[in-house]
């Protein structure tokens, strides 16, 4: 479903020199699987999520990235989203003046328009929203407030998953979704994420810690270091990491 081959990418700040972050990353996530990417700070985890979703300021210099056989790198971010790519942001943006529901409905209809599907009707949208909010234990009043403005870290993460449930993406990238969540919120969020696991969907779970993977069980675990996958394995790899740290995998890597 998602195929990355020898991906090299650099971050190009507006002021300052470009730095290469991804240095030949290869990864294959088949449909229906959940893969975890673990790695220390600065290993390129967030860069990977931004390169896949097409953020400005990131430049791919070599390699390929395809999604269901289509070259991803030539597509605008909104087209990638319409194809079904969703990023749950590590730091969700505050968008003043735009209520959550207004925003999500606009997003949903934009995606549908790009795919040539009819718009969602108001009653249908409200129904979907009610179900998603209940699943994540979100106060419906919160959905009338401007997106993320004044929300706590945990509320923002919950809202990311709410958007995910509403937009029903084909492929999800969760960038440190566990940060800022207490254990109860973590369980609620994981339940929401697990509701979207299925045959046609893929997922990349980016995290520092094993904790999230207790609730969102990965099929494969990859260790990212200095811009490359240095080790891949089954779910046990995450447990091993938790026990003995990253160092054993990084030496000479």
Partner 1 sequence: MQLSDLPSRRTEAWKWSDLRAAMGGQETTLIGAGPIGGEGPIAAFAELMGDAYAAGAQVIAAPGEALISSMTEGDVGQYGSLVVKAGATALIVERIAVSGSALRRILPTFARIEVEPGATLQRIVLQRNDVPFGQAGATIVRKEAVVERGAGATVREFVLGEGAKLARIEVSVDAGEGAHVELNGVYLAGAKRHVDFTSRVAHGAAGVKTQQLVRGVARKGGRGIFQGKFLVARTGQKTDADMQHNALLLEEGAEIFAKPELEIYADDVACAHGNTAGQINQDAIFYLRQRGIPLEEAQAMITRAFLIEAVPEWMGEELRGEIEARIDRWLGTQA
Separation between Cα atoms, residue 55 and residue 58, nearest integer Å: 6
Q: How far is the CB of 162 from partner 1 (least distance, A)?
A: 12
Separation between Cα atoms, residue 205 and residue 39, nearest integer Å: 12
Query: Could you give the string, one character per residue 180-219, with x where binding to partner 1 holds by CB under 8 A and - elsewhere?
Result: ----------------------------------------
Q: Kindly tell me which of 7 and 173 has the beta carbon lying closer to partner 1.
A: 173
What are the beta bridge partners of residue 204?
35, 173
Span of 78-86, 200-208, 209-217, 221-229 interacting with partner 1 by CB under 8 A: 78-86
The count of residues interacting with partner 1 (CB under 8 A) is: 30
Beta strands in the chain (DSSP E): 2-11, 19-29, 34-38, 58-67, 70-71, 85-88, 171-175, 202-207, 220-225, 228-233
Q: How far is the CB of 230 from partner 1 (least distance, A)?
A: 28
**Residue 43 interacting with partner 1 (CB under 8 A):** no
**Residue 92 interacting with partner 1 (CB under 8 A):** yes
Q: How far is the CB of 248 from partner 1 (least distance, A)?
A: 35
Identified binder of partner 1 from the candidate list 41, 93, 123, 182, rule CB under 8 A: 93
Separation between Cα atoms, residue 235 and residue 217, nearest integer Å: 7
Say whether 179 sits in a helix, a strand or coil: coil
**Residue 122 interacting with partner 1 (CB under 8 A):** no
Identified binder of partner 1 from the candidate list 103, 125, 209, 215, rule CB under 8 A: 103
Distances (CA, A) of 152 to 148, 191, 209, 246: 8, 20, 21, 30
What are the beta bridge partners of residue 223?
38, 231
Q: Kindly tell me which of 108 and 205 has the beta carbon lying closer to partner 1.
A: 108
Identified binder of partner 1 from the candidate list 40, 77, 154, 180, rule CB under 8 A: 77
Q: How far is the CB of 14 from partner 1 (least distance, A)?
A: 9
Identified binder of partner 1 from the candidate list 31, 60, 73, 98, rule CB under 8 A: 98
At 174, list the tokens: 């969760």
Closest C-alpha to 42, from 22, 16, 64: 22
The total number of residues written for the chain in this structure: 253
Separation between Cα atoms, residue 251 and residue 249, nearest integer Å: 6
* Residue 233 per-residue DSSP state: E
Footprint on this chain of partner 1 (rule: CB under 8 A): 53-56, 76-78, 80-82, 86-87, 89, 92-93, 95-98, 103-104, 106-108, 110-111, 114, 146, 163, 167
């Amino acid at each position: 479903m998602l195929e990355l081959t020898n991906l090299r990418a650099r971050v190009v700040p507006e002021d300052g020199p470009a730095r290469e972050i991804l240095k030949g990353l290869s990864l294959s996530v088949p449909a229906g699987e959940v893969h975890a990417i673990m790695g220390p700070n600065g290993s390129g985890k967030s860069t990977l999520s931004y390169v896949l979703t097409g953020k400005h300021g990131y430049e791919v210099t070599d390699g390929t990235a395809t999604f269901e056989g289509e070259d991803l790198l030539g597509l605008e971010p909104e087209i990638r989203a319409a194809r079904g790519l969703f990023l749950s942001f590590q730091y969700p943006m505050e968008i003043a003046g735009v209520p959550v529901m207004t925003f999500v409905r606009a997003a949903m209809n934009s995606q549908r328009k790009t795919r040539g599907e009819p718009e969602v009707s108001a009653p249908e949208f409200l129904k979907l929203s009610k179900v998603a909010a209940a699943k994540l234990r979100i106060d419906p009043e919160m959905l009338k407030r401007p997106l993320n403005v004044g929300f706590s870290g945990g509320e923002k993460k919950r809202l990311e998953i709410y958007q995910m449930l509403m937009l029903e993406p084909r492929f999800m990238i969760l960038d440190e979704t566990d940060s800022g969540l207490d254990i109860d919120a973590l369980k609620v969020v994981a339940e929401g994420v697990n509701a979207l696991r299925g045959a046609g969907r893929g997922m990349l779970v980016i995290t520092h810690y094993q904790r999230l993977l207790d609730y969102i069980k990965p099929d494969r675990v990859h260790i990212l270091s200095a811009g490359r996958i240095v080790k891949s394995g089954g779910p046990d790899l995450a447990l091993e990491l938790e026990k003995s740290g990253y160092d054993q995998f990084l030496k000479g890597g």
